[in-house]
Amino acid sequence: MAAFDFDGTITHGDSTTSFCLSAFAGRLPAAVLRAAPRLAGYPLGLVARQRLKETLLTPVLRGREEREVRARAAVWAARQLPGMVRPAALEQLRWHQAQGHRVVLASASLELLLEPWARAAGVDDVLATRLEVREGRLTGRLAGPNCYGPEKVARLEALVGDLAGIELYAYGDSRGDRELLAAAQHPVFRPFR
């Protein structure tokens, strides 16, 4: 099995930010302004990563129909996301597929962004951050934990069971991938830069 982080590993840059800039640019300045105190508190450890993410996403996505956002995400993933993909990362992903390995994305990025790209790329599973939906509309909050750090391993174990019996390749580029890399027999840190 091969588990790939997405943002910064497979791609140049952050897919969630790029999507929001492309699809909801008009709402971003107010969201960033409103989040300024939390943005300042995050590097000091005063604000949790999940809380910061929700603070930024809520004014951008709250009240939007889920199917409309998914449709925008699918178009964006088809048109814009391929330009962010590192060729060497895609080549390595294809190598794992050619070996018959199960390929998984494990990412803090939004699941609704990664799923269309993953389907097109033939990726087996997407473990990513989910958005809360109520009555067909997004709240801007996360549905469950942000898929970051230990949550990546927890989601992988929920998918396949005990990792001890699996030969795991893991690819990551940040501290959010530390636990995933530690769980792998073949950890690879920042390989495509």
The predicted-structure confidence for 35-66, as pLDDT tens digits, reads as follows 788 778 878 888 888 888 998 899 899 999 99
∠ Cα 127 154 139 (to 5°) = 55
Q: Is the pLDDT of residue 18 over 80?
A: yes
For the chain, the structural domain boundaries read 2-189
DSSP label at 62? T
DSSP label at 166? S
∠ Cα 53 158 94 (to 5°) = 80
- Residue appearing with tokens 């390749």: 169
What is the percentage of the chain residues whose pLDDT exceeds 90?
78
Q: Is 105 exposed, middle or buried (0-12, 13-18, 19+ CB in 10 A)?
A: buried
The predicted-structure confidence for 133-142, as pLDDT tens digits, reads as follows 999 999 999 9
- How sure is the predictor about 91, in pLDDT bands with cuts at 50, 70 and 90? very high
CATH code at 2-189: 3.40.50.1000
Token couple for 132: 């809360």
